[in-house]
Chains A and B, each alone.
Chain A
Amino acid sequence: MASIELRNVRKSFGVVDVIKGVDLTIRKGEFMVFVGPSGCGKSTLLRLISGLEDITSGEMLFDGKLVNALAPSKRGIAMVFQSYALYPHMTVYENMAFGLTLEKGHGKEEIRRRVEKAADMLQIRQYLDRLPKQLSGGQRQRVAIGRAITRDPKVFLFDEPLSNLDAALRVATRIEIAKLHEEMNDTTMIYVTHDQVEAMTLADRICVLRDGLIEQVGTPMELYDKPDSLFVAGFIGSPKMNFITGEKTEPFGCTTLGIRGEHMVIKPDGIWEGTVIHTENLGADYYVYLEMGTDEPVVVRLDGGQNYQSGDKLRVSPLDDRIHRFDAAGKPIR
């Protein structure tokens, strides 16, 4: 229920600048994902929004009001931590009710009603009397999310909530978070992850960060189709976009040519020739690694059920309208 505006926000720890001037507007009810490699400052940015860290300079506004000096609990936020951060000595119910009991003006009945409503949303009602140590990792993370829901926050913050879970649980919890966003569609959600799949599947908009600066903000498809830099082009999408440099790029008039594996076709009159050096069969997909005189082998993504051998010679062509051209500075030529 809150829009968030960051104006030239900076954060330094001693002499180290972690956030180097970020301007960003997050709309009401939006699901914004901060993504980037480790050390890019995405978690710090989230902590600045939460108020757990003070910003060094710049302005932070919630609904147009300056919140620079406002304590976390006064900002109307709730946060889900990577390590769950449940209170080990409290039952699930007490964990979820703790925030409400500290706020004045909530009766016992109201607290119970709100905890149970949140517990029902996450299907953890049968665990309300248990201690965190009696729960599995996935259940604990659901309790942590439930604790945040109970407070009925205006802004919901997630700090890599899935990275402690195993792969299967990660997908299941990801879907639950997506459903949660649909149900609480007027709550602004900000989600930090280093996993671009989570970013692509959950986000309304993604904010790609690098070295304390924003590289690009846009919808998942904008980032996929029109990356603003080599960095974004390489970060979004799996397998990674192929970058081709050298004389092969001359006909295209660019320094670096980017082409995704799924946007290449194998055909007899293909413009590039390469040798198969490795193949990966993922069932639905089939990756072919081609050696064709570039710095790194080129990955071609095909439908499953193909069969190539190492040493096979293949000719490939990029789809003309899917080529990304970049200049020497790594900026796109459009």
Chain B
Amino acid sequence: MEASFDLWKFTKAALFYALVLVIVVVAVFPFYYAILTSFKSGTDLFRVTYWPTNISWNNYIQVFSQGSFPRNLLNSIFVSAVTVLGALFLAITASFALSRVRFRGRGLLLMTILAVSMFPQIAVLAGLFEVIRLLGIYNTPWALIFSYTIFTLPFTVWVLTTFMRDLPVEIEEAAIVDGATPWVIITRVFMPLMWPALVTTGLLAFIGAWNEFLFALTFTSNNDTRTVPVAIALLSGGSQYEIPWGIIMAASVVVTVPLVVLVLIFQRKIVSGLTAGGVKG
């Protein structure tokens, strides 16, 4: 009796881990294959292997030495960082107003903000292009920062508003009695309490801006102003008949690393922030 019970337990555990393995493999394989490919060279590229055979750094060297890839990388970092900072700043101040200041039409405004994020990018592309031309920022990083911020803000504002609404009103009132202005309340009382929400939304905004393709392709026109996703797509090989897969893969791996690093750094913050929510004011 006891033996069969153990067998059943063992089977259950085995099935569970098998399932976990399947999920992990399916999720990780594409990325793994990209890394694998990035270390291959020559015709080796077109042989399907699942384990690294000989590692060559050639592709990586080429990515950084040819064309304007380093410049594109800097563009991406600049655009994403400024987008995140700008969006978070606007979203924090906006969500303070939306969650704490009573004014007419607040609910409608919140719904409108959410509705904006429902439009597909392609629908607003032409209109946005006109606005960007009008502002005279076409083919500059500001065109991308501007358009990414527009698309990031609804989500960011929505999440932060929900989060801020849950902060106890009394903490804000205590700060008012202590003589804090709204700005002091936001920066010295609310922001430290909102770290988890800020990190989460900031990270998502960063990833969105980092990987965005359509706007980046449309609003920039030369190599020096492009961001990484477009630059990768436009990488060319020795002739127009050759697609440089190795270099593309190497570039892709390079641009993914910063995201992984960011997530690893802030993951602790996200988790610790969530558990700290149990603190009663």
Q: B168 contacts A85, CB within 8 Å?
A: yes
Flag the segment in A96-104, A168-176, A324-332 that touches B. A96-104
Q: Is the CB of A87 within 8 A of B177?
A: no
Q: Point out the residue from B178, B180, B280 that lies within 8 Å of A83, measured CB to CB.
A: B280
Q: Say if the beta carbon of B281 comes within 8 Å of chain A.
A: yes
- CA of A81 to CA of B281, assembled, Å: 10
Does A218 interact with chain B (Cβ within 8 Å)?
Answer: no
Q: Point out which of B174, B279, B281 has the most chain A C-beta atoms below 10 A from its C-beta.
A: B174
Please state if B178 and A81 are interface contacts (CB–CB under 8 Å): no
Q: Decide if A99 touches B178 in the complex (CB within 8 Å).
A: yes
B53 to chain A, nearest CB (A): 53
A77 to B177, CA, bound (A): 7
Q: Does A334 contact B (CB under 8 A)?
A: no
Nearest CB of chain B from residue A326's CB, rounded to whole Å: 40
Is B192 part of the contact surface with A, judged by Cβ < 8 Å?
yes
Given A88-B279, A89-B193, verify A83-B168 contact (CB < 8 Å): yes
Q: B130 on the interface (CB 8 Å rule)? A: no
Q: Does A234 contact B (CB under 8 A)?
A: no
A-chain residues with CB within 8 Å of residue B184 when the two chains form the complex = 102
Asked whether A73 and B179 contact (CB < 8 A) given A81-B170, A87-B174, the answer is yes
**Is the CB of B189 closer than 8 A to any CB of chain A?**
yes
Q: Assuming the A-B contacts A86-B281, A102-B184, A133-B279, are A151 and B178 also in contact, with contact meaning beta carbons closer than 8 angstroms in the complex?
A: yes
CB-nearest residue of chain B to A133: B279
A81-B170, A83-B168 given; A73·B193 CB < 8 A = no
Task: Give A48 to B168 CA distance when docked, in angstroms.
Answer: 20
A79 touches B174 (CB 8 A): yes
Decide: B281 and A85 in contact? CB cutoff 8 A. Answer: yes
Q: Which of B175, B192, B280 has the most CB of A within 10 A?
A: B280
Smallest CB separation, A260 vs chain B (Å): 38
Bound-complex Cα distance A152 to B174 (A): 15
CB pair A81 B173 closer than 8 Å: yes
Assembled-state Cα–Cα distance A88/B172 (Å):
12
**A102 touching B180 by the CB < 8 A rule?**
yes
Are A88 and B193 in touch, CB under 8 angstroms?
A: yes
Contact of B281 among A72, A78, A83 (CB under 8 A): A83
Q: Is the CB of A85 within 8 A of B179?
A: no
CA distance A103 to B181 in the complex (A): 11
A159, closest chain B residue (CB): B170
Main secondary structure of the interface of B (DSSP, over half): helix
- Determine whether the beta carbon of B177 is less than 8 Å from that of A52: yes
B131 lies within 8 A of chain A by Cβ: no
Which A76-120 residues have a C-beta within 8 angstroms of B?
77-79, 81-89, 98-99, 102-103
Of residues 152 to 197 in A, which have CB atoms within 8 Å of B's CB atoms?
none
In the complex formed, the residue of B with least CB distance to A90 is: B192
Q: How far is the CA of A8 from the CA of B31 in the complex (A)?
A: 73
CB-based nearest A residue for B278: A133
Within 8 Å of chain B (Cβ to Cβ): is A44?
no
Whole-angstrom distance between the alpha carbons of A85 and B276 in the complex?
Answer: 16
Verify if B97 is at the interface (C-beta below 8 Å from A).
Answer: no
Question: Residue of B at shortest CB range from A72?
Answer: B177
Please tell me if the beta carbons of B179 and A88 are within 8 angstroms of each other in the complex: no
> Is the Cβ of A89 less than 8 Å from the Cβ of B170?
no
Specify which chain A residues have a CB less than 8 angstroms from the CB of B179 in the assembled complex.
72-73, 99, 102-103
Query: Once the chains bind, are B192 and A50 in contact (CB under 8 Å)?
Result: no
Q: Is the CB of B193 within 8 A of A102?
A: no
Residue of A78, A87, A99, A133 with most partner-chain B CB within 10 A: A87
Closest to A132 in B: B279
A85–B180 alpha-carbon span in the complex (Å): 14
A50 to B177, Cβ gap below 8 A? yes
Instruction: List residues of chain B with CB within 8 A of the CB of A71.
Output: 176
Least CB separation from B184: chain A residue: A102
**Chain B residues whose CB sits within 8 angstroms of the CB of A83 once the complex forms:** 168, 170, 280-281
Please provide the chain A residues from 120 to 152 with a CB less than 8 Å away from any CB of chain B in the complex. Answer: 132-133, 147, 151
From B177, B189, B279, A73 is in contact (CB under 8 Å) with B177
Could you say which residues of chain B place their CB within 8 Å of the CB of A132?
A: 279, 281
Q: Let me know if B23 is at the binding interface, CB within 8 A.
A: no
Interface string of B155-172 (1 = CB under 8 A from A): 000000000000010110
In chain B between 236 and 281, which residues have their CB closer than 8 angstroms to a CB of chain A? 276, 278-281
The answer for the CA separation of A50 and B171 in the assembled complex, in Å, is: 15
A86 CA / B173 CA spacing, docked (Å): 11
Measured between C-beta atoms, what is the minimum distance from A140 to chain B in Å? 8
Cβ contacts under 8 Å, A88 to chain B: 171, 193, 276, 279, 281
State whether B193 touches A85 (Cβ < 8 A). Answer: no
Q: Is A72 a contact partner of B180 (Cβ separation < 8 A)?
A: no
Most buried by A among B170, B180, B184: B170
Q: Which of chain B's residues has its CB closest to A140's CB?
A: B280
Please, which residues of chain B bring their CB within 8 A of the CB of A82? 170
> Which of A73, A78, A133, A151 lies at the interface centre, i.e. has the most chain B CB atoms within 10 A of its CB?
A73
| B109-148 at interface with A (beta carbon < 8 Å) | none
Q: What distance in Å separates the Cβ of A177 from its nearest Cβ neighbour in chain B? A: 18
Taking CB as reference atom, which chain A residue is nearest B174? A85
Q: How far is the CA of A190 from the CA of B95 in the complex (A)?
A: 34
The 17 listed contacts between A and B (C-beta, < 8 Å) are A52-B173, A52-B176, A73-B179, A78-B177, A79-B173, A81-B173, A83-B170, A84-B281, A86-B281, A87-B171, A88-B193, A88-B276, A99-B178, A102-B179, A102-B180, A133-B279, A133-B280
Nearest 4 pairs between A and B by C-beta? A73-B179, A99-B178, A85-B170, A85-B174
Q: A71-B176, A77-B177 are in contact. List 5 more A-B contacts (CB 8 A).
A: A81-B174, A98-B175, A99-B177, A133-B280, A151-B178
